[in-house]
Amino acid sequence: MSSENKEVDYSLANPDTLTKYKTAAQISEKVLAEVSKLVVPGAKIVDICQQGDKLIEEEISKVYRGKKINKGFSHPTTVSPSSYVTPYTPLTSDEAEAGAEIKDGEAIKIQLGAQIDGFGSIVCDTIIATPEDKAGDKITGRTADLILANYYINEVLLRLMIPPGTLAQGSDEEKAKAAAQKAPTQAKITSLLEKVAKTYEVNIVESTTSWLFDHNEIEGSKKIVLSPAEGTKGEGVPEIGEVWGVEVGVSLGSGKVKGLDQRATLHRRTNQTYGLKRPTSRKILNEVQKKFGTFPFSLRQLEDERDAKSGVVECVRGNVFRQYELVGDKDNSPVARYLTTFGE
C-alpha cells in the first residue's frame, strides 16, 4: 500500500498529533493569561478581543516556522459580560457594540484558542473585573460562591472524563478492578455535579455541552450534556486517545437560558455546498476557507467588516455558515464558565 493511501492516525497515540495539540494548548494558555490582565472596569470589550487575536497571531507565527503547516485560530478571542452564557465578540463597525465596556465586579468570560495543522485547543476562564488598585483584594459573598462552584465542578468533571481502567499504579488486582468499571452515565455525571452546585447554592447552566475534538473539528461525533434541556441529550463516553473540549457553566440564578436580542457575530464554516449568488457572499466564503477552515471566526476578523455583515446573511441562509446565537442567563444572573481542552 502506498503512503498516500494509508489512513492517518489523528489520535493521541500519534506523537506528532500530541505535539501539535500541546503546542496549540501552550499558545492558548499563554494568550489567555495575558488577555486576563486586560479585564478591568472601563475597558472596551472589542479592544480586548482585538488584542487577544493579535497575541494569538504573534504566538502562532513563532512555531513550525518554514513548514507548510496550516496554523491559526481554533476560536477567536471572545469576552462575555456577566449574564452572557455564550461567547461574545462585538464588531468595530457597530457603534453600540464597539462602545460596550466592562463593569466593575462583573464575571467576565474569556474564550480563545489556537490550532496547529487542524489540531485545536480552546480555553475559557472567568475573571472578576476589578480595578487595578484592588487587584489583590479577596473576592467574597455570592461572587465567591460562583467562582468556587465553577472551579470545583470543573475539577470533578475532569476526573469523571478519565476512562475507567487507566489506573497507572497499584496491584494487578486493583488494576483489574479499575478496568472492570464502567464509565458513568451522563445522568450520573449531571447528578454528581449538581450535588457540588447545591453546596454553593448555584445551578449548572442548562445544556452545557462538552464535545469530542477531532482533526479540523471541535464538535465531533460524541458529546456530554450537563443538565440537559427538554429534547437534548448527550451521546458517547470518553475513550483513551481522544481529545475533548470540556465545558462547565454555573449560574447564580436558575441556570435556565434565553436568547439575547443581539446580532450573531460568531460563525463557522459547515461542510455544506451552496451556489452563492452575491459577490460579497462568495468573497467572505473564500476568505474564511483560507483563514479559518472549519474553525469558528468573528466577522470582526474579516478584511471588510461591513461587507461581511451583508455577505454572511446568504451564507447562513444557504447553510454554508453556521451562526452561534447569543444566549444569556434567563434571570440576568451572573454566570461563570470554564472550557478545558482535555486529552485522554
In tens, the pLDDT along 11-63 reads 999 999 999 999 999 999 999 999 999 999 999 999 999 999 999 999 999 99
Please compute the mean of the pLDDT values over residues 57-72 and round it to a whole number. Answer: 95
User: What pTM does this model have?
Assistant: 0.94
Q: What are the Cα distances from residue 242, in Å, to 119, 156, 188, 221?
A: 12, 19, 21, 12
pLDDT in tens, 256-310: 999 999 999 999 999 998 999 999 999 999 999 999 999 999 999 999 999 999 9
Domain 11-262+326-343, CATH 3.90.230.10 — does that match? yes
Region class of 227: left (phi > 0), else alpha (psi between -120 and 50), else beta: left
Angstrom CA distances, 94 to 16, 97, 264, stand at 42, 5, 13
Which has the higher per-residue pLDDT, 1 or 254?
254
- How do residues 174-200 score in pLDDT, each as one tens digit? 777 777 788 899 999 999 999 999 999
User: What's the pLDDT band for 4 if we cut at 50, 70, 90?
Assistant: low
- Per-residue pLDDT at 132: 86
Q: List C-alpha distances in Å: 99 to 91, 95, 96, 102, 132.
A: 10, 6, 5, 10, 21
Angle at 209 between CA 7 and CA 16, to 5 degrees: 30
What number of other Cβ atoms are within 10 A of residue 171's Cβ? Answer: 9
CATH of domain 266-321: 1.10.10.10
Q: Mapping DSSP to helix (H, G, I), strand (E, B) and coil, where does residue 136 land?
A: coil
| 90 pLDDT more than 90 | yes
The cell for 4 is 498516500
pLDDT digits (tens, 9 = 90+) for 230-248: 999 999 999 999 999 999 9
| Ranges of each domain in the chain | 11-262+326-343, 266-321
